[in-house]
Amino acid sequence: MAKNKGKLQRIAGPVVVAVGFEARMYDVVRVGKEKLMGEVIQLDGEKVIIQVYEDTSGLRPGEVVINTGEPLSVELGPGMLTSIYDGIQRPLPVLADQMGDYIFRGVDAPGLDHKKKWEFKATAKKGDKVKPGDIIGEVQETQTVKHKVMVPQGSEGKISEIKSGNFTIDDVIAKVDKKEVKMYQRWPVRTPRPVLKKLSPKMPLITGQRIFDVLFPLAKGGVAAIPGPFGAGKTVSQQQLAKWSDADIIVYIGCGERGNEMTEVLTEFPHLLDPKTGKALMNRTVLIANTSNMPVAAREASVYTGIAIAEYYRDMGYSVALMADSTSRWAEAMREISSRLEEMPGEEGYPAYLSTRLAEFYERAGRVTPLGTKQEGSITIIGAVSPPGGDFSEPVTQNTLRVTKTFWALDAKLAQRRHFPSINWLTSYSLYQDVLEPWFNSNVASDWRTLVNEMMGILQEEEKLMEIVQLVGSDALPDKQQVTLETARLIREFLLQQNAFHDVDTFCDLKKSYMIMKTIMHFDKLAHDALSKGVSVARIIETESKEKIGEVKFIKDYEKKLTTTQKEMESEIGKLE
């Protein structure tokens, strides 16, 4: 029998060295008298190097290290939705009940409630042939989400026994060729769950945020990065996407963020209503809180814990949106661990394998056909990046850009001008526009892409003209270019600006976005027609009816208002001479 006990030899912050026992890479170990949780990250002859997920102060050489022989795993089953976990899937409300606001070291709590009874309804029957991933029953996990119980990996054959009823997750609900099946599974977080087939993304993730949906759409199963300096609005953007995107399940990872920001999420989310169902948004949300004052090593684990939970719901045929806020803090944790391991540093001190780790994480996104179900499932990853000083040339941003197809660049100058969301429309891009064009054409309007291209052209033209305006003033510009500047202002103020804290404007459906675009471009056409008839540009810009487009953002009955506004613009500009 392999020896599973050893002794601590050296302690360097979260990295400790033990000797005298056998271990494999990524085995979970228990360190010291308090049995702190750790993971094997390097094997060097007799030495076993471990990263500890908890504070190591007070540990001494000679204390016992016990190897569990298992990789870092999560419990996957009913009860995850509405939960708030730390980076290693310990439920924070359960720990708070046990010990108050401060978590003691070495404390363990299962990720799922093993005492609660769930009503299991069998959808398969005795004698059915099943294989891993097949759905054999359902549990109403929350008011809005049905949890589908799947055959775990390693079980295949005929169902010899299955029963409906009220059970805990430890009860045996079925037997597949004498192998017991329970309502939950354990899964190693670093191992991607297998799928039948990866599919190309064809549908957009509708976010309700105009700048994302209109100019830089993200596909379901796609990956996006939101880099931005401190105070530019990354966290609010991530929260807006979590609240309003049309994914079935939301997994929100607060990875190394400030405690006050995470507190805002934890206190606000339970009170939010889901726009689709009218029920609590937490019914389809899993929160993972790993703040900046928590142990560094657990940051890395939190990202993998989140993606493992997301893959589980994807395998049920759901579309999942995963928010990682922020991957820079995860990379900083890697850098700290790497330096304590005395590895050769790469650019800016980050480990040489930074790009590989980021790619491995983002590659777990995608639209897929899961093993058992014939329904499609998808994971869309939206990763926030916090480059120091807003420098997008730093390694984490650059390596993220290599693997993401949508880039939503936050701009500190826009934030200072109170233009939110402060996404810079000149440096951002989406590589999904071509594949999503057929969807927009058939589901919204056939001229959607044409309008978007026209608007991007006007915004780019405005940027060039602004250099001249700053030198000589806008009056020196030709009439047509003055109209272009006015149209660009309408696009910026009425389409791209959005108030996250207004009851109506916080979410904008695609039809409303399309009608706002159409109305702005209608003004542009009317203005150019008036110019060709000899009307002075000053009088066109002074027209008041166009300003009513902005009022539409804050009202629900937008169709009537926009139709009236278009007629008023035609009448007002038509009367000009």
Q: Which pLDDT tens digit goes with each residue over 307-349?
A: 999 999 999 999 999 999 889 989 998 998 999 888 899 999 9
- Domain of residue 157 covers 76-195
Q: Is residue 116 part of a domain?
A: yes
Cα–Cα nearest to 441, from 507, 510, 517, 508: 510
- Would you give the distance in Å from CA 323 to the centre of its chain? 2
- Which phi and psi (to 5°) does residue 112 adopt? -120, 160
Dihedral pair phi/psi, residue 467, rounded to 5°? -65, -40
Pairwise pLDDT comparison (330 vs 270), residue with the higher score: 330
Q: Is the pLDDT of residue 1 over 60?
A: no
Selected residue with higher pLDDT from 104 and 534: 534
Number of domains in the chain: 4
Maximum mean pLDDT: which of 87-101, 107-121, 273-287: 107-121
For the chain, state the CA radius of gyration. 27
At residue 141, the pLDDT reads 94
What average pLDDT does the segment 456-465 reach? 95
Checking if the pLDDT of 295 tops 80, the result is: no
**Dihedral of the CA atoms 555, 560, 565, 567 (nearest 10)?**
180
Q: What is the CATH number of the domain that holds 399?
A: 3.40.50.300
What CATH number corresponds to the domain at position 486? 1.10.1140.10
| Residues 453 and 410 grouped into a single domain | no
Would you say residue 269 has pLDDT above 80?
A: no
Q: What is the pLDDT of residue 469?
A: 87
Domain shared by 222 and 129, yes or no: no
Is the CB of residue 351 less than 8 Å from the CB of residue 345?
yes
Looking at every residue in the chain, the average pLDDT score rounds to: 91
Assign 433 a pLDDT band (cuts: 50, 70, 90). very high
- Containing 14, the helix (H) or strand (E) segment is none
Q: What is the pLDDT of residue 231?
A: 80
Residue 439 lies in a domain: no
- Is pTM, for the whole model, over 0.85? yes
Do residues 371 and 428 share a domain?
Answer: yes
Write the pLDDT tens digit of every residue in 388-406. 888 899 999 999 999 999 9
Same domain, 204 and 187: no
Indicate whether 471 and 546 sit together in one domain: yes
Burial track 208-219 (b if 16+ CB lie within 10 A, e otherwise): bbbbbbbbbbbb
DSSP letters, 218-235, are -BTT-EEEEE--TTSSHH
Which residue has better confidence, 560 or 373?
Answer: 560
Question: And the tokens for 532?
Answer: 């060709």
* Within a domain: 443: no
Q: Is residue 84, in this structure, part of any structural domain at all?
A: yes
Assign residue 136 the CATH number of its domain.
2.40.50.100
Q: Are residues 425 and 456 part of one domain?
A: no
Same domain, 173 and 218: no
Query: Which run of H or of E encompasses 162?
Result: strand 157-162
For residue 245, give the DSSP letter. S
The verdict on 392 and 467 lying in the same domain is no
Q: What is the pLDDT of residue 2?
A: 56
Q: Which pLDDT score is estimated for 565?
A: 95
| Mean pLDDT of the 196-218 span | 95
Centre a 10 Å sphere on the Cβ of residue 3 and count the other Cβ atoms it contains. 10
Which of 38-52, 272-286, 437-451, 494-508 is the least confident region? 272-286
The dihedral over CA atoms of 42, 43, 49, 52, expressed in degrees to the nearest 10, equals 50
Name every residue whose Cβ is closer than 8 Å to that of residue 360 and which is 6 or more positions away in sequence.
none
Q: Are residues 156 and 86 in the same domain?
A: yes
205 and 191 belong to one structural domain = no
Mean pLDDT of 422-437: 96
CA 547 to chain centre: 35
Query: Does residue 572 register a pLDDT over 50?
Result: yes
Give dist(CA 165, CA 150) in Å, integer.
17
Q: Among residues 39, 294, 343, which one has the least CA distance to residue 18? A: 39
Q: What is the mean pLDDT of residues 458-481?
A: 90
Which 8-state DSSP code applies to residue 97? Answer: H
Residues 212 and 330 in one domain: yes
Q: What share of the chain in percent tops pLDDT 90?
A: 73
Candidate from 159-168, 267-276, 313-322 with smallest mean pLDDT: 267-276
Sign of CA dihedral 274, 280, 283, 287: positive
Q: pLDDT of 170-185, one tens digit each? A: 999 999 988 999 999 9
Do 181 and 101 share a structural domain? Answer: yes
Nearest to 346 by CA among 394, 387, 295, 403: 394
Q: Is residue 442 part of a domain?
A: no
The residue among 71, 97, 121 that closes a domain is 71
What is the predicted pLDDT for the residue at 102?
A: 74
**Share of residues in the chain with pLDDT > 70 (%):** 99
Distances in Å between the Cα of 47 and the Cα atoms of 170, 219, 311, 343, 345 are: 37, 46, 34, 16, 22
CATH number at residue 35: 2.40.30.20
471 contact partners, CB below 8 Å, separation of at least 6? none
Residue 515 to residues 72, 509, 551, 559: CA-CA distances in angstroms? 50, 10, 13, 8
Where among 71, 95, 124 does a domain terminate?
A: 71
Please state whether the peptide bond connecting residue 326 to the residue before it is cis, i.e. omega within 30 degrees of 0: yes
Q: How far apart are CA 362 and CA 372, in angstroms?
A: 23
Residue 251 lies in a domain: yes
Region 366-380 average pLDDT: 90
In a domain, 225, yes or no: yes
Determine, yes or no, domain membership for 440.
no
User: Of 140, 167, 195, which marks where a domain is finished?
Assistant: 195
